[in-house]
Structure 1
Amino acid sequence: MSELRVTLGGSERVVDAGTTAGQVLDGGSRIVAARVGGELRDLEYVVRDGDVIEGVEIDSKDGRDILRHSTAHVMAQAVQEIFPEAKLGIGPPVENGFYYDFDVENPFTPEDLKRVEKRMRELVKQGQRFSRRVVSDEEAREELAAEPYKLELIGLKGGAADEESVEVGGAELTIYDNLDAKSGELCWKDLCRGPHLPTTRNIPAFKLMRSGGAYWRGSEKNPQLQRIYGTAWESRDKQNEYLKMLEEAEKRDHRRLGAELDLFSFPSEIGSGLPVFHPKGGIIRRELENYSRIRHEQAGYSFVNTPHITKGHLYEVSGHLDWYRDGMFPPMEVEGAEYFLKPMNCPMHNLIFSSRGRSYKELPLRLFEFGTVYRYEKSGVVHGLTRVRGLTQDDAHIYCTREQMQDELHSLLGFVLDLLRDYGLDDFYLELSTRNDEKYVGTDAEWEEATEALREAAERSGLELVPDPAGAAFYGPKISVQARDAIGRSWQMSTIQLDFQMPQRFNLEYQAADGSRQRPIKIHRALFGSIERFFGVLLEHYAGAMPPWLSPVQVVGIPIADEHVPYLEEVAAKLKARGIRVEVDSSSDRMQKKIRNAQKQKVPFMLLAGDEDVSKGAVSFRYRSGEQNNGVPVDEAVAEIVKAVEDRIQV
């Protein structure tokens, strides 16, 4: 038998021809696949001379994706056994789970999902083997003649990089067979590029979560299929940890909290994804914006304001009509010209820069706006405040010289992180989004220079830097600040994008020290992303218990009896004079109910007063946590509350 040389862990090994990757790795149940020359392969892959092989562990990102995709196949098999008429769509892994789409006569019910999950557990115990085979287009069409959506995917082989590429991709078509563990007979099959787990027994833990409608390939012009979502993990403990997090996330859902705390709503009369903020929500939003304004003024930003609509020509110059039109609302015709609701502020800021001659002495010029923009999000992705159609960006654009670029990026990133910390977020990592080779403008050299400048600024921050290949918009690479909330979920917050293209498209210039005309560099920066989304994220981060400085009502005075109301109103007047938002509950409710009401509204401080408090010029100080400090002199209570608000502490 001939011998081959392969590399494993940096060391060369000699193996017999016909040896599989699984035999080379021999890593036990934790190794579920192989990475060969950078490509993921099944453990049954037969190695070739010169292969460089790495093991893929089940708890790695790739390992979890393979686990979840394999579980999706098991689910699809179970569905077709229970509902033989079901036609297959696609079944990719997604963050924390998987889904599979089916064309069925009736939507799935919760009882249907229980039946499917029960059958899946039986299939897992059977230990069916996932077996890959290459087929021609003709063979695939013949074998899958009864699966119209799979036939469509065959025609997409090697096409655009979209979600279908999970199922079909590369230069060859492959089908995965689920084979009986004992007899080797075919149990089920699916068109798929893989890789997969060795057997269904390698699935340690899974659970079906819910079902819902989804348009085929994401287009409203296509049939609506039924999608089943599930989750799968490398251990029961990890799955239980995730399910517990979901329970906590449900309690923190900003949509529920928004209604309970009377902060905002989405009137159907206005339209999907268009929120209105109620008085209490308006206070939070105002405080978010006011503090941001103060910090921006201190950092040398100039405030500007731009209209909500513009002639379409502006976005032709910027390139957005070419690249972003699907995300814009349809135009309206006014006096023979097409006008658009603006989807972003940056082209208008370019016009402010070019409104007169600029000197190098004015740079860096930092323009800032709370600018409301409008984006056409499909109804299926609109989600509370975190995915809306009308949003207000805290949008800044910095125009600087090439020599200033690196220092400006470094200071800008520091400014962003410090301000986010002031709002209570302090666990960050960064993503560096680089060029999408199918969707960009500019030269290779410009993109390389911009990318390396951002990389250097990110590395100077000392934070973890995660690559996001092909994630950049068409005019430049970007850094995204990812923040983890109180229960460990990651949210994309601020973005910093370096742009060499817009200044060229708008012919922006400044006069340099030597009298020559030079092109500025442009930096795009949204710190919150949008006020609406940031509001929703903070509401979930704090579970509705906003820190005192952001709380709509910071103090509630609770009298023991009606005769104590005037005393508490005097205390309230002292607090109001110091800028504190305070109410006195003079309702007919009993004291304990007043306390419960204040706790439900998540008010940070309650000041109780009875005969003894009045006689001593004091209050009983009750905190949101339930702790109480009795007999606190009024002036001390006022000072403590004012300090908590001014120092932006959490209580």
Structure 2
Amino acid sequence: MPPLRPFARALHVARRIPSRSVTGLHLNGRVITRSCSCSAPHQLQHTVTVAPEAATKEQLNPTTADPPTPPTDHRTLAQAHNLFITSPYSPGSPLILPNGAYVFQKLQSFLRAQYPQFGFQEVITPIIYKKSLWEKSGHWENYAEDMFSVQGRGATGKTDNAQVGEDEEFGLKPMNCPGHCLLFRDEIKSYRDLPIRYADFSALHRNEVSGSLTGLTRVRRFHQDDAHIFCRPDQILEEIEQTLKFVGMVYNTFGLGPYKLLLSTRPKDSFIGTIEEWDRAEKQLSTALDNIGTEWAINEGDGAFYGPKIDIILKDSNGKEHQTATIQLDFQLPQRFDLQYQASPEELEAGSQTSMDSGLDASLRRPVIVHRAIYGSIERFMALLIEHYAGKYPFWLSPRPATVLSLNAEPEVLAHVARVQSVLSGLQAHDVRQLHPSASPRPLPLSTIQLPIETDTSARPLGKKIAEARLRKYNHMIVVGRKEAENGSLSLSLINQPNEEATVEILEAVIDRKITARELSKGVNVPLDAARRYFEHLANAFM
């Protein structure tokens, strides 16, 4: 496929020729997208325009291979792994079961581990705000019908001529950006303080139409890996490019992609700010896309009401496309919340202020906000991963990394099963004796890699236990009998572990010997301490 045209030229062409959908961009379904990280999902109705000669070529950044036949559904797969349920008592708000919570928390922990190298600081903000905040941000005017209104004690929201903050109705937050603006403006910042990057995993609520609710992909309560970068205008390009690198690193780790990049431009009618500000923001985003050397297309008119955005589109197993990551440039909220910082010597020397800075002292400037989400909705991202892995999760993310089967019911065997489970799960070091039940517990180190290792010590024949372990799709199956109990080892089999060749290489490196084909089929005898090290290697390598 030839490179897409630079933004300015492509947009010029788009405005000269009749708009048309690009067939290659809409294979097997319509794009599910959010108009911003701070808005509700909707099906893409706007035209995606690229250079005419590119329209007949292959799909832009094809997202996955052809959908499987029959297609997998995350709701069906979730039942097999006991991940979540839904209830008519709270439609659109999935109830996450322990196995699902493990995956959910791993997704959060993975991003938290990456935040320091990208300069993000995590914050915690309220779930509920007064109506006046949403009016200040512009969301009440543009977004109220998708919000849940809440009446607090003593607040009817009906008092005539009430002062701001008096007798107000409340709204459950559908986005984090206004709260992060409150954090930023808590004190005047210096130009040296920027960029400031706030990250937030708070629960969000959006009043989706009941008929559109589906599993984890279309919900009313969800969590975003939401973040807002407050930066100087001269820092915008670097921040956007770093964010795109962040997205690429994360998606490569999960084995997702390739994916599409869409630049969504100014809506035709519902937008705030001047056209000049929009043109400047769109130019910044298009330059960043050109600089990373990845193909992209224009999604004309589908920007958020406060600014243009870059959307990352992935395809699910049914061929339907979903917007996951998003990067948005916002010149509007800094003005609405009167955000400011002390200008740099270079800015003071230049002496010029933009329309954003009107009303400010000559020594002050307004920051720009970059809205950023890597997963998008964690629930939706989970759904895509559930279908992508189709029951064969990487070890570090798997809700069922291993199960320990007893060969018989001898007391020594059962005691060793309990010890194997304790050591492999990270609850006990291999060289530490089991604490007496009356002993006081000790805190585990925060760095401990904890794994949900299960056991089966039922009196059933071993063959039935093995068949059930395979059916339940554990990554590893461990068998313990009298021999293993006597020498402190275990018999390890890989039964549902992806990338088996690389996995075997890690196991061979840990036990310092080659593994035969017979051992792979019958089980590898591994010392207990080596098995724990092997599991830690897999987790740290994201395998």
**TM-score w.r.t. length of structure 1:** 0.61
- Distance verdict in 2 for CA 1:560–1:292, change over 3 Å: same
Structure-2 residue corresponding to 1:526: 373
Query: Deviations 1:483-523 (Å, cap 9, x if unpaired)?
Result: 35678764321100000111011111001134711010100
Structure-2 residue corresponding to 1:636: 530
CA distance in 2, matches of 1:485, 1:383: 14
Structure (1 or 2) with the greater strand fraction: 1
**Secondary structure of the structure 1 residue equivalent to 2:189:** coil
Structure-2 residue corresponding to 1:266: 86
Listed as ranges, the gaps of 5+ residues in structure 2 are 1-15, 31-42, 48-63, 156-166, 349-362, 429-448, 498-519
1:508 maps onto 2:369 in alignment: no
Query: Deviations 1:570-624 (Å, cap 9, x if unpaired)?
Result: 3223212363331221123322222232223321111113345445544322112
Structure-1 residue corresponding to 2:123: 304
Structure-2 residue corresponding to 1:492: 323
CA distance in 1, matches of 2:340, 2:456: 61
State the AA in 2 paired with 1:569.
A
Count how many residue pairs are aligned between Structure 1 and Structure 2: 426
CA distance in 1, matches of 2:456, 2:337: 58
Match of 2:147 among 321, 328, 347: 328
State the superposition RMSD in angstroms.
3.0
Asked if the contact 1:317–1:506 (Cα under 8 Å) also holds between the matched residues in 2, the reply is yes
- Distance verdict in 2 for CA 1:394–1:332, change over 3 Å: same
Query: Deviations 1:417-476 (Å, cap 9, x if unpaired)?
Result: 212322332422211111112111111221111111111212222222022111111111
Structure-1 residue corresponding to 2:492: 621
Structure-2 residue corresponding to 1:31: none
The Cα shift of 1:312 comes to: 0.5
- Distance verdict in 2 for CA 1:164–1:411, change over 3 Å: closer
Structure-2 residue corresponding to 1:34: none
The Cα shift of 1:637 comes to: 2.9
Structure ranking higher on relative contact order (CA contacts 8 Å, 6+ apart): 2
CA distance in 2, matches of 1:486, 1:561: 42
Once the two structures are superposed, the pairs formed by residues 224-263 of structure 1 within 5 Å of their partners are 245=67, 247-249=69-71, 252-263=72-83
**TM-score w.r.t. length of structure 2:** 0.72
Structure-1 residue corresponding to 2:414: 565
**Secondary structure of the structure 2 residue equivalent to 1:337:** coil
Match of 2:175 among 335, 344, 350: 344
Once the two structures are superposed, the pairs formed by residues 327-406 of structure 1 within 5 Å of their partners are 327-332=146-151, 334=153, 335=155, 336-406=167-237
Structure-1 residue corresponding to 2:364: 517
The Cα shift of 1:283 comes to: 1.2
CA distance in 2, matches of 1:324, 1:395: 18
The Cα shift of 1:638 comes to: 2.9
The Cα shift of 1:390 comes to: 0.6
The Cα shift of 1:246 comes to: 6.0
CA distance in 1, matches of 2:524, 2:146: 59
CA distance in 2, matches of 1:470, 1:322: 19
CA distance in 2, matches of 1:481, 1:399: 22
The Cα shift of 1:480 comes to: 1.0
CA distance in 1, matches of 2:104, 2:382: 7
Moved more, 618-627 or 598-607: 618-627
Once the two structures are superposed, the pairs formed by residues 182-197 of structure 1 within 5 Å of their partners are none
Once the two structures are superposed, the pairs formed by residues 476-491 of structure 1 within 5 Å of their partners are 476-484=307-315, 490-491=321-322
State the AA in 1 paired with 2:194.
L
Match of 1:547 among 394, 397, 401: 394
**Secondary structure of the structure 2 residue equivalent to 1:245:** coil
Asked if the contact 2:267–2:303 (Cα under 8 Å) also holds between the matched residues in 1, the reply is yes
Structure-1 residue corresponding to 2:9: none
Asked if the contact 1:433–1:477 (Cα under 8 Å) also holds between the matched residues in 2, the reply is yes
Once the two structures are superposed, the pairs formed by residues 21-40 of structure 1 within 5 Å of their partners are 38-39=17-18
Query: Deviations 1:381-410 (Å, cap 9, x if unpaired)?
Result: 111101100111111000000111111111
Moved more, 399-408 or 291-300: 291-300
Query: Deviations 1:327-380 (Å, cap 9, x if unpaired)?
Result: 112342542211111111101110111111111111000011102111011011
Q: Computing the radius of gyration over CA atoms, which structure comes out larger, 1 or 2?
A: 1
Asked if the contact 2:230–2:370 (Cα under 8 Å) also holds between the matched residues in 1, the reply is yes
- Distance verdict in 2 for CA 1:323–1:165, change over 3 Å: closer
1:587 maps onto 2:458 in alignment: yes
Query: Deviations 1:67-107 (Å, cap 9, x if unpaired)?
Result: xxxxxxxxxxxxxxxxxxxxxxxxxxx86379xxxxxxxxx
**Secondary structure of the structure 2 residue equivalent to 1:399:** strand
**Secondary structure of the structure 1 residue equivalent to 2:416:** helix
Structure-1 residue corresponding to 2:56: none
State the AA in 2 paired with 1:542.
Y
**Secondary structure of the structure 1 residue equivalent to 2:303:** coil
State the AA in 2 paired with 1:263.
L
Listed as ranges, the gaps of 5+ residues in structure 1 are 1-36, 41-55, 66-93, 99-161, 167-241
Query: Deviations 1:252-277 (Å, cap 9, x if unpaired)?
Result: 311122222211111222x2101111
The Cα shift of 1:625 comes to: 3.6
Structure-2 residue corresponding to 1:451: 282
**Secondary structure of the structure 1 residue equivalent to 2:124:** coil
The Cα shift of 1:529 comes to: 0.8
Query: Deviations 1:276-322 (Å, cap 9, x if unpaired)?
Result: 11111111111111121121133221111111111111111111111
- Distance verdict in 2 for CA 1:450–1:163, change over 3 Å: closer
CA distance in 2, matches of 1:454, 1:163: 20
Asked if the contact 1:616–1:633 (Cα under 8 Å) also holds between the matched residues in 2, the reply is no
CA distance in 1, matches of 2:151, 2:243: 38
Once the two structures are superposed, the pairs formed by residues 78-477 of structure 1 within 5 Å of their partners are 96=28, 245=67, 247-249=69-71, 252-269=72-89, 271-332=90-151, 334=153, 335=155, 336-477=167-308
State the AA in 1 paired with 2:419.
E
CA distance in 1, matches of 2:315, 2:29: 19
Moved more, 554-563 or 384-393: 554-563
Asked if the contact 2:28–2:319 (Cα under 8 Å) also holds between the matched residues in 1, the reply is no
Asked if the contact 2:334–2:366 (Cα under 8 Å) also holds between the matched residues in 1, the reply is yes
State the AA in 2 paired with 1:565.
L
Asked if the contact 1:253–1:540 (Cα under 8 Å) also holds between the matched residues in 2, the reply is yes
State the AA in 2 paired with 1:525.
R
Asked if the contact 1:478–1:496 (Cα under 8 Å) also holds between the matched residues in 2, the reply is yes
CA distance in 2, matches of 1:165, 1:307: 34
